[in-house]
Amino acid sequence: MSNNDELPLETTKKILPLILATAIFMQMLDSTILNTSLPSIAKDLGESPLNMQNAIISYVLTLAVFMPVSGFLADKFGTRKVFVVSLILFVLGSVLCGLSQNLTHLVIARVIQGLGGSMMTPVGRLALIKTFDKNEIVQAMNFAIIPALIGPVLGPLVGGYMVDYLTWHWIFFINIPMGLAGIILGLKYMPDYKSKILDFDLKGFLIFASASLVLSVALEFLGNAKNITPVLGVFVLGFLLLYYYYVHAKKDNNPIFPLNLFQIRTFRVGILGNLATRLGISSVPLLIPLMIQIAYGQSAVISGWIVAPMALTAMFGKSFVIKILNKIGYRKTLMLNTMIIGFIIISFAIPGVRTSIYWFVPLLAILGFFNSIQFTSMNTIAIADLRQEMTSSGNSLLAVNQQLAIGFGTAFGLIVLKIFEGKLGFGEQGTHDAFRYTFLTIGLLTVISGFVFRRLHIRDGDNMKAE
């Protein structure tokens, strides 16, 4: 394992969170900016807007398949090389997306983007975990995680403006200056950690990647399926593949994701907590703009501005999370914070169809603050007790889990909305009530998911507290 010998450690520690933040911001922005632009892209490429879903699915599937191998590649070739190559692929994919002449070109370019995206965030976070002491990680991760909160909020807003005032090509070209900055900073400041243990579990990778692929396909189609029976069959196949991986990992001497990761309580609760709480949290950035446009009849740009305060308060929240964790610990923080987020989501159901849409602004601002605390706390408790040899595999699994959790949350929100729409009708009042009942449902589930963190001990995460 080697570090940047030519640079002082303190210099690396100052720049590394910024490098990771750049990667996370590009990835999160790219995941959401496309949504508001699909109709314009479809028109320009001469395609049906429904077919454009392939441009989103191809990216998500590439992430799901190749994220599990990111830890091994970093261990073998070094975190610096893999991170820089991942940024190059992401920027190259972005350029090709902007130059696409038809849907096939766009899908291929999105796969190249996905190859880069599948490595740059997990590898950047792995370098950060290995560089900082345990009691410094929360502060470092706290800074790097903010783009994950800002990206989904700014994405629809930036996408709306670019489509209205420029052309859709710019939603991809915007990645070029950020990507180049990340490449330059990565070459100079990214530590180059490697590992001597390089026994790659090809069979385990293929099984786990297949499970991630199948589950991602099911998630993408679940939100849009008219008949969910075949989609549920795909889900069952995905979970059977996960079980097959479990059987394989019990027998293999060096599986890609060792089962003893789950013997570590903090990691186990962090993974489960991410899945459970994101069912509600992940659907809000999608449902609020949809409601403002469909139920209240406002434009995409206005809906983007309504949601924008979440980004500002997320940045504000990061200055409080360390103090809160130091004072009351991870267990109380995560339990209380998850329940607060749940009650805020429930409060979205209060305004009537004649209520001013600006009623949502303060609620979303408060939600952004508590989301900031939630994501920093969940991500850091999951890695709190990982031993050095477990860091790469644990970090990769955490990245895959987060990707699937966000997908589950988004799909779940859309399914609940469609169920209520089917029962309440599609008129102005019926549509609005469907959104209200959806927020009630996912809010209550979020409140209940807070009890997952009861499994933490009161002293868990003490080694992560800043001194």
State whether 76 and 141 are in the same domain: yes
Q: Which of 184, 200, 216 is the last residue of a domain?
A: 200
Q: Between vectors from CA 119 to CA 246 and to CA 6, what angle results, nearest 5°?
A: 120
194 lies in the same domain as 92: yes
Domain that holds residue 213: 204-255
Residue 302 sits in the same domain as residue 351: yes
The number of beta carbons lying within 10 Å of the beta carbon of residue 454 is 10
Each of the 467 residues of the chain gets a pLDDT tens digit; together they read: 444 555 667 777 888 888 888 888 887 777 667 766 666 777 788 876 656 667 777 887 788 788 888 888 888 888 889 999 999 999 999 999 988 888 888 889 999 998 998 888 888 888 888 888 777 777 777 777 776 667 666 776 777 677 777 777 888 888 889 889 889 988 888 888 887 766 777 888 888 888 888 887 787 676 566 667 787 888 888 889 989 988 988 887 778 788 888 888 888 898 999 888 988 888 887 788 778 877 777 776 777 788 778 877 877 777 788 888 888 888 899 999 999 999 999 999 888 777 788 888 899 999 989 988 898 888 888 877 777 777 777 888 888 888 778 777 877 887 888 888 777 665 566 778 888 899 999 999 999 999 999 988 888 777 666 55
* Separation of alpha carbons 275 and 287, rounded Å: 19
Q: Round to whole Å and give the CA distance between 254 and 325.
A: 35
Give the DSSP per-residue string, 48-69: -TTTTHHHHHHHHHHHHHHGGG
The span from the CA of 332 to the CA of 325, in Å, is 9
188 class by beta-carbon count within 10 Å (0-12 exposed, 13-18 middle, 19+ buried): middle
- Predicted TM-score (pTM) of this structure: 0.78
**CATH number reported for the structural domain that contains residue 313 in this entry:** 1.20.1250.20
Residues 160 and 220 in one domain: no
* Number of folded domains that form the chain: 3
Q: Do 215 and 186 share a structural domain?
A: no
Q: Are 161 and 33 in contact (CB under 8 A)?
A: no
Are 143 and 249 found together in one domain? no
Residue with tokens 């966000």: 406
